[in-house]
Amino acid sequence: MGSIQHTESPVATAAPGRHAPPATAAEPPPRREVWLAAWPVTAVFILSNTATPLYVLWQRRLGFSSGMLTAVFACYIVGLLAALLVAGVVSDRVGRKPVLLPALALGIVAGVLFATAGSIAALAIARLLSGVAVGAIVSAGMAAVTDVAGPERRRLAALLASTAMVLGAGLGPLLAGVLSEALPGPTVTVFVVEIALLVLAVLVVARMPLPRPAGPRPGAWVRVPSVPRANRVHLLLGIAVFAPGITSTSFVLSLGPSLLADLLGTSSRVVAGATAFVMFTAATAVQFAVRRLKVAAILPAGAVSTVGAMASLALAVHLSATPLLALAAVLAGAGQGMGQLGGLTLISARVPAARLAEANAALNVGGYIPAGLLPVAVGYLSDAVGLSTGTTVFSAVVATAALAGGAVVAARRRTAL
- Interatomic CA distance for residues 258 and 263, integer angstroms: 8
Name the pLDDT band for 4 (thresholds 50, 70, 90). very low
Name the pLDDT band for 5 (thresholds 50, 70, 90). very low
173 vs 404, residue with greater confidence: 404
Contact 362, 139 (CB under 8 A): no
411 vs 211, residue with greater confidence: 411
pTM of the model: 0.73
pLDDT at site 240: 96
pLDDT at 200 over 60: yes
pLDDT at site 20: 43
pLDDT at site 347: 87
pLDDT at 9 over 50: no
The domain limits of the chain are 31-212+228-416
Distance of CA 207 to the CA centre of its chain: 23
pLDDT at site 100: 95
pLDDT at site 102: 96
Read off the pLDDT of residues 29-70 as tens digits, 9 standing for 90 and up: 777 888 889 999 999 999 988 987 888 788 888 887 767 777
User: What value does the mean pLDDT take over residues 236-249?
Assistant: 94
Read off the pLDDT of residues 320-369 as tens digits, 9 standing for 90 and up: 887 888 899 999 999 999 999 999 898 888 888 788 878 888 898 899 88
Q: What is the CATH number of domain 31-212+228-416?
A: 1.20.1250.20
Name the pLDDT band for 15 (thresholds 50, 70, 90). very low
Name the pLDDT band for 416 (thresholds 50, 70, 90). low
Residues 317-325: contacts with CB within 8 Å, 24+ apart?
A: 317/259, 317/263, 317/387, 317/388, 317/391, 317/392, 318/388, 318/392, 320/263, 320/264, 320/265, 321/264, 322/260, 322/264, 322/266, 325/256, 325/259, 325/260, 325/264, 325/275
CA proximity to 61, closest of 2, 128, 119: 119
